[in-house]
Amino acid sequence: MKISRSNFAAISVTMIAILILFQFSNLSAIYASQAMKNANALPDVSITVNKTIQAPNLLSTSSYTTALIGSKSNWETMIAEEWCVYTKQPYYRFPSLDAFYGNISKNCKLLIVNSYVIDSSKDVNILARMAKRGVSIILTSLPDISTFRSYPKLMELTGIRKIEADSYYTNGMTVYEGFLLGGKTTYTDLKKSIPYFLLESGTKTYISASIKHQERKHIKNEELPPVLWRNYYENGFVFSVNYDFFQDHTGLGMLSAMLSETNSYNLYPIVDAQSVVCQNFPYLSNENSDRISQQYFYTSKAFCENVLWPDVVSILGATDDKFSGMIAPKMEYSSSAEISQDAISFYFKQAERITGELGISGDQMESRSFHEDKIKYDSKTFKQLAPDYIFTVFSPGSMPESAYEGYLKFYSKDSILSNIQTLILPKEHEHSPVLSFYNTKILAMSYICDGFSHTDEEDLYLRSIETALGYSAVSLDFSRVLYPSGKSDDWTTLSRDMARFLDTYWKSFRKAFEQVNISQADQKVRKFFTLDYSSYRRNDTISLSITNFDEEASFLLDLTDEKIVAVSGGTFIKAEKDKYVLHATAKNVTIEVTEDLTEN
């Protein structure tokens, strides 16, 4: 069989064309790559602290809606104050109930009280009078049992019928559906001794403790030790918290949830950002190779590039999470190992391909004295190897604030930290707020969870923060993988846990909230801090008016056995029964609601 010349020419041309077309896409990607530049780095920060609504803006002596009763330094009061800032509640802090009673605002709707301020019948009477006036009262913790015994009216106020036991060792607790986001959950590890009360009728329990051998003891569910409940007294609601939720930010979401229980609806702003941050990854050096090769038969560098990177990308791809990597150039700054250009090139390009974001980590495995050296070394190295890349996100990790604060505050132009806009702090770092401004320009956000572990306590914390802010930042610390200290640090185990946890515990939140990288989260938080709002309800219509509206704003709408039918000026996503995430696209939003008979 012969082939004609013309056919031969046509076939050849086609083959060449196909070859060029395939190669072209690759070549064009290489030539058009902006991997060595940070796409998220803005020339300047548009929203600084003075454009936002912070505590000083909300403090009001005469027209506050929320009164915080407790010492300024008290952790419970601080949490409540933080909550007021997030929910834009005009508030005022009073050291005692007496002080508050002398300066009652006519707008006051909510009283958040520390237990220790209740120490006289006068205090109890003030609380009773406030309840009678229709003010809702939240006791962030309960006074001693002796106080209850001394003041029976306090028992009446809180809806306690009987003190069954002064201290009872509980076997966990159950958070019931409709209170926090995430539905009904039973925590078997949250065991603790708490006072055991029996409640009156007219009370509603949101969290109750579980006890051992409940059936054998013939104890009904309604008689289980209550942990968080509501009582109706005269004209107001009194919420009592019989647990130390307010010792950290676990109480934050509970405040929002409790406020929701006082009204037919509760509409409050949220951040609407879910981030996953890989701390100390990408890792650019080749240290600890002996240990790594002993465990994985790879050098550290090869292990990171050939095992960790594909695994991380595939896990995050499966959950649709955005990649935010806090680069660890080196972990041992005393060693002479150098960072290779190849590693930088590899990770930066790979990160660009998955539209990830890279920041800088502050961790290192050596003594405290090396932190200063790290910043200098990193600054020098990146100036040489990636001079165009501007780092805007910094996760100090174990680096003490003293080591980096100078670089952040005094704007050292030569430093790698000179353009930092976002600081990601460890969870509950020195009692710092979940979201705050580090200085006028830099926003500080906290990690919410460790991606490699998920205890009951962490879960409750996560659900509470999600309820309050619609925000989470999961930390995946790869120093554990690179410097394993035992079997539990094996990547096989950790990757399985990471995939499992991300896929399970965030599933419901992922449906409701947006998955973003850290810079996007930063922008959302800034806008969240900027906006103010007011809302009212007339029959089945809720009207929302937003001030300082900047393109978008997110809110959480908590209803009671109702559902959204239509929204004008925004869109909505059903997070779960009665709870909706509202995305406002205009300053004025109207929400039509109707009765909801569905189960979920």
CA distance 436 to 445: 7
- 450-467 residues labelled b (16+ CB within 10 A) or e (exposed): bbbebebebbbbbbbbbb
Question: Burial of 579 by CB count in 10 Å (0-12 exposed, 13-18 middle, 19+ buried)?
Answer: buried
- 400 touching another protein, by CB under 8 A: no
Applying CB under 8 A, among 174, 256, 495, 554 the residue interacting with another protein is 174
- 149 touching another protein, by CB under 8 A: no
* Contact present, 261 and 253 (Cβ < 8 Å): no
In whole angstroms, the minimum distance from the beta carbon of 200 to another protein comes to 6
Cβ proximity to another protein: between 200 and 592 the closer is: 200
The closest of 142, 138, 262 to 195, measured between CA atoms, is 142
Contacts of 596 (CB under 8 A, 6+ apart): 559, 561, 562, 563, 577, 578
- Per DSSP, the three-state class of 441 is coil
CA distance 151 to 119: 9
In whole angstroms, the minimum distance from the beta carbon of 65 to another protein comes to 19
Cβ proximity to another protein: between 94 and 187 the closer is: 187
In whole angstroms, the minimum distance from the beta carbon of 198 to another protein comes to 9
Cβ proximity to another protein: between 263 and 299 the closer is: 263
Cβ proximity to another protein: between 152 and 317 the closer is: 152
Given the structure tokens 């003010």, which residue do they identify? 135
Amino acid present at 98: D
Cβ proximity to another protein: between 174 and 240 the closer is: 174
The closest of 69, 150, 178, 80 to 117, measured between CA atoms, is 69
- 288 touching another protein, by CB under 8 A: no
Applying CB under 8 A, among 176, 298, 377, 483 the residue interacting with another protein is 176
Stretch that binds another protein, among 202-210, 426-434, 548-556, 563-571 (CB under 8 A): 202-210
Q: How many residues bind another protein (CB under 8 A)?
A: 23
Report DSSP state, residue 308. Answer: I
Cβ proximity to another protein: between 36 and 163 the closer is: 163
* Contact present, 478 and 279 (Cβ < 8 Å): yes
Q: What are phi and psi of 400, to 5 degrees?
A: -65, 150
In whole angstroms, the minimum distance from the beta carbon of 199 to another protein comes to 8
Stretch that binds another protein, among 85-93, 189-197, 261-269, 581-589 (CB under 8 A): 261-269
Cβ proximity to another protein: between 199 and 344 the closer is: 199
In whole angstroms, the minimum distance from the beta carbon of 216 to another protein comes to 19
- 409 touching another protein, by CB under 8 A: no
CA distance 553 to 583: 6
Applying CB under 8 A, among 263, 295, 535, 545 the residue interacting with another protein is 263
- Per DSSP, the three-state class of 456 is helix
Stretch that binds another protein, among 27-35, 196-204, 341-349, 365-373 (CB under 8 A): 196-204
Applying CB under 8 A, among 1, 3, 32, 597 the residue interacting with another protein is 597
CA distance 169 to 284: 50
Applying CB under 8 A, among 200, 401, 497, 592 the residue interacting with another protein is 200
Distances in Å between the Cα of 126 and the Cα atoms of 63, 81, 105, 121, 184 are 19, 21, 14, 9, 35
The closest of 554, 441, 454 to 504, measured between CA atoms, is 454
Cβ proximity to another protein: between 210 and 285 the closer is: 210
| Tokens (6 digits) for 17 | 């064309």
Binding mask 208-247 for another protein (x = CB under 8 A): x------------xx---------x---------------
In whole angstroms, the minimum distance from the beta carbon of 473 to another protein comes to 32
Cβ proximity to another protein: between 550 and 596 the closer is: 596
In whole angstroms, the minimum distance from the beta carbon of 226 to another protein comes to 9
CA angle in degrees (0–180, nearest 5) for 356-310-291:
115
* Contact present, 92 and 67 (Cβ < 8 Å): yes
- Per DSSP, the three-state class of 38 is coil
| Tokens (6 digits) for 7 | 């056919």
Binding mask 568-587 for another protein (x = CB under 8 A): --------------------
Q: What is the CA radius of gyration of the chain?
A: 28
Cβ proximity to another protein: between 193 and 221 the closer is: 221
Cβ proximity to another protein: between 160 and 417 the closer is: 160
Cβ proximity to another protein: between 263 and 585 the closer is: 263
- 177 touching another protein, by CB under 8 A: yes
- 153 touching another protein, by CB under 8 A: no
- Per DSSP, the three-state class of 435 is strand
Residues binding another protein (CB under 8 A): 161, 174, 176-178, 184, 200-205, 208, 221-222, 232, 261, 263-264, 560-561, 597, 599
